[in-house]
Structures are given as structure tokens and as C-alpha cells.
Amino acid sequence: MQNRWFLCLLLHTLFTQPSSNLIEAVSKICRDEHIITQSPLDFSNSKLYNAHTALQAWKSSITSDPSKILDTWVGPNVCDYKGVFCSKLPGTFTVAVAGIDLKDASLEGTIPKELSLLSDISFFHLNSNKFIGTVPDSFKDLQSLSELDLSNNNLSGPFPSATLLIPNLNYLDLRFNNFVGPIPEFLFTKGLDAIFLNDNMFDDHIPDSIGYSTASVITLANNKLTGRIPSTFGYTVSSGIHQILLMNNKLTGRIPEEIGFLTQLEVFDVSHNALSGQLPASISCLSRIEVLNLGHNRLCGVIPDLFCSLKFLTNLTVSFNFFYEITQGCKKLPSKNLGFDFSTNCISGIGERPQHECTNILDSVDCLRLPTPRSLPCKRN
């Protein structure tokens, strides 16, 4: 039975011209076997027929549908299928599938390669389901796709490189899956506006190309990334990054001075890493920063007034580091407010660490007091 199903599907895919006399013979065989109940003649155009082929292949690969969504996936009217959205192609009267939205459906199964037949979809939202396996290489053929959300599933394997070949992709969300391996350099030069890769198992270093990204949001948190934070920030003309989330990785080294070039940055979270050394003075260039979380690292030195006087700063966390001094301007902040946490450092009288924990760190070269530069570089020359 399974071989006959695939044979019928293949024949229907190959012979899609309405004038083909073979269609009727193939359709009769498949109907007699109760395998395929539609022929190309049942559809107003080939795009809807291809969509039917793709969606029925996907339906057969889904193993659990507790909400009974797929009960609506019957017959040739694919635009009536739940989660499927159709519209007329620009400048034409041709109706095609324009998007898929099956979020929060608790579907289980795999993502079949036949979905590449949905060549006109602009959004594909599959977040909060239980899909397993990999992202098919055929996704590179989704020429119109601009939003791809596969978050909160059980997908695995290396970074799905096919997504980087989708020409019009603008939004990529792969968070809360089981992807592994390095993050490709090309990801940050593709022109994406939003990149969500948090809560996977990506490892290796952060590509230097992150400094060339035009994205407004980059989240790489809760992975296994190692090495230094790249010093390539600020190379893009706009420097329009608003949020960078790198917390809970295994990053080491200093916070690069170049972070100050991101003058549109509003949220910067590098907590729960192994960053060391003193804070770069250029952080004071972050004139729009609202949330600055540096907690749970090995940072040391002085917390200067320049940081604490940032106009829009509402949440500053430097707890669980090895800072040994806080300046008068910072002391005026409402430190009891949950938005400002200086505790568990080497600062006398403010949730101080035991002396023996501070000694070795504070005697290192990285923690020697450095003079504040007269002028701060807030943009590249």
C-alpha cells in the first residue's frame, strides 16, 4: 500500500498539465486504491494543486494531532484547511497559499521536503509544537519566505544551512530546539532583521561577522558558545542593534571596547559567563541602554559614574563579580531596588564576598586601576 501511495503521488506530480490524457487513468487507479482522491483537474491552478500535494505529504508525516487540526485537511480546498492562509498573488487573480501558522498546536512528527512546493508562502510559523528531525534542504526553494519560526520544538542536527539560502528571509527563530555545532559566519551577513538562536546546544566561538549584522535583535543565550566576544561591532553604517543577549554561555576574555559603537543598543546581557578584566569605558557611549546585565562573571575594577549616569538605564546588574569600588554617582542609585544589583562583589559594605575570594583576582594585572580616557570613542573613524 505504501509503495502504491508514493507511486500515485509521483505520477500526479509529474503529470500536472490539464491536457494530459494520462491524468484520468492515474487518478482512477489512485481512487480505486483509496490513496489519492484529488486530481489536478480538481484545482483552479497548479499552485493550489502543488500545495495540496505538499500538505497531504505533511499530514501523513504527523504522528499526533491532539487538537484535531488535520481533520480539516481534507479535499481540494486547501485554503479552508486550518492553519493555512491564502491570497491572490500580486498583480494577478491567481490564488495561492501565502502562509502557514500552526503555532501552539502540540503537533508531533517531522517536516517533509515536499513543503518546498509551497513556493509562495511568506510566513511559516510552527512554534510550540513537538516536531523532530531536521529542517529539509529543500527549504532553500521557498523563494518568497520572509518569516521562519520553528522555535519550541525538538528539532536537531547542525545549524540548518538551507535557511541561509532562502533569498528573502528576514526573520529567523530557531530557539528552544536541540541544534548543535558552530554558528555559520554567513548568518550575520545575510541581512536578517531578527536572529533568535537561544536555548539550543550551539558551540564553538561567536563568528566575527556578528559585527556586520544589520539585525535589530540577536539572541544567542543559553548555548555552549566559547571564546571571546568579537571586537568587530560598529562596522555597519547603522549600528542598529537594539538587543544582544549572550547570557549563560562559556564566553571568556574582556568585554570589547567596540561595544560602545552600538549606540542604539537598549539591552545588553552577558551574565553567567566567564568574562574577566575591567569594564570598557566605552559602555558610557550606550546612550540608549535600558538593561545592562553583567552579573555572574569574573569582572573586576571600579564601577564608574559614567555607567550609572546613563539616562535611560533602568536595570544595572553587576552582582557576583569582583568589583572593588563603586563611585559616588553609583551609590546614589536606589541599590535596594531590584533594578540595581551590586551585591556579592569585593565592595566594602555591599554584600561583600569573603576576602580570600577577592585576593587572587584583585592582585591580577587585569584588575589594576586604569585612568579614564579623556575622550571616549563612540564611533569608528
Q: Is the pLDDT of residue 373 over 80?
A: no
- Superfamily grouping for domain 182-381: Ribonuclease Inhibitor (3.80.10.10)
- The CA-atom distances, in angstroms, between 334 and each of 173, 312, 315, 352 are 37, 15, 11, 18
C-alpha cell at 190: 545575510
Q: Residue 305 has what pLDDT?
A: 83
Q: Residue 188 has what pLDDT?
A: 95
Other C-beta atoms within 10 Å of 349: how many?
6
Name the pTM for this structure.
0.86
When mean pLDDT is compared across 23-37, 65-79, 255-269, 362-376, the lowest value belongs to 23-37
pLDDT digits (tens, 9 = 90+) for 116-141: 999 999 999 999 999 999 999 999 99
Confidence category of residue 376, pLDDT binned at 50, 70, 90: low
C-alpha cell at 111: 517536516
| CB 293, CB 247: distance < 8 Å | yes
Q: Which one-letter amino acid corresponds to residue 143?
A: Q
| CB 201, CB 178: distance < 8 Å | yes
List residues bridging with 298 in a β-sheet. 276
When mean pLDDT is compared across 87-96, 145-154, 196-205, the lowest value belongs to 87-96
Round to whole Å and give the CA distance between 31 and 37.
5
Question: Can you give the residue ranges of every domain in the chain?
Answer: 182-381
Q: Residue 44 has what pLDDT?
A: 77
Q: Is the pLDDT of residue 115 over 60?
A: yes
**End-to-end alpha carbon distance in the chain:** 69
Can you say whether residue 276 is alpha, beta or left, with left for phi > 0 and alpha for psi between -120 and 50 degrees? Answer: beta
Round to whole Å and give the CA distance between 329 and 309.
7
Q: Residue 2 has what pLDDT?
A: 39
When mean pLDDT is compared across 72-86, 193-207, 298-312, 355-369, the lowest value belongs to 355-369
pLDDT, mean of residues 318-328: 90
| CB 100, CB 73: distance < 8 Å | no
Q: Residue 17 has what pLDDT?
A: 44
Q: Residue 219 has what pLDDT?
A: 98
Round to whole Å and give the CA distance between 189 and 211.
9
Round to whole Å and give the CA distance between 271 and 318.
9
| Most confident listed range (37-51, 218-232, 329-343) | 218-232
Q: Return the closest-CA partner of residue 177 out of 217, 121, 222, 225.
A: 222
Q: Residue 20 has what pLDDT?
A: 45
pLDDT, mean of residues 355-370: 72
Stated as kind and residue range, the H or E segment containing 150 is: none
Q: Which one-letter amino acid corresponds to residue 87?
A: S
Q: Is the pLDDT of residue 278 over 60?
A: yes
Residue with cell 556578528: 210
Q: What is the DSSP letter of 135?
A: -
% of the chain with per-residue pLDDT over 90: 64
Round to whole Å and give the CA distance between 241 and 165.
23
| CB 304, CB 331: distance < 8 Å | no
When mean pLDDT is compared across 55-59, 99-103, 276-280, 362-366, the lowest value belongs to 362-366
| CB 266, CB 241: distance < 8 Å | no
| CB 343, CB 319: distance < 8 Å | yes
Using alpha carbons only, give the angle 196, 57, 99 rounded to the nearest 5 degrees: 45
When mean pLDDT is compared across 45-59, 74-88, 237-251, the lowest value belongs to 237-251
Q: Residue 304 has what pLDDT?
A: 84
C-alpha cell at 255: 568585554
Q: Residue 8 has what pLDDT?
A: 53
Listed in sequence order, the residues at least 6 apart from 330 whose beta carbon sits closer than 8 Å to its beta carbon are 303, 304, 305, 307, 308, 342
Q: Is the pLDDT of residue 187 over 90?
A: yes
pLDDT, mean of residues 238-253: 91
Round to whole Å and give the CA distance between 87 and 256.
48
The four Cα atoms 283, 287, 290, 291 give a dihedral, to 10 degrees, of: -10
pLDDT digits (tens, 9 = 90+) for 17-74: 444 445 445 444 444 443 455 667 577 789 999 999 999 999 999 999 999 999 999 9
Listed in sequence order, the residues at least 6 apart from 295 whose beta carbon sits closer than 8 Å to its beta carbon are 271, 272, 317, 318, 319, 320, 321, 341
Q: Residue 327 has what pLDDT?
A: 83
Confidence category of residue 306, pLDDT binned at 50, 70, 90: confident
Q: Residue 16 has what pLDDT?
A: 43
Average model confidence (pLDDT) across the chain: 86
pLDDT, mean of residues 328-333: 77
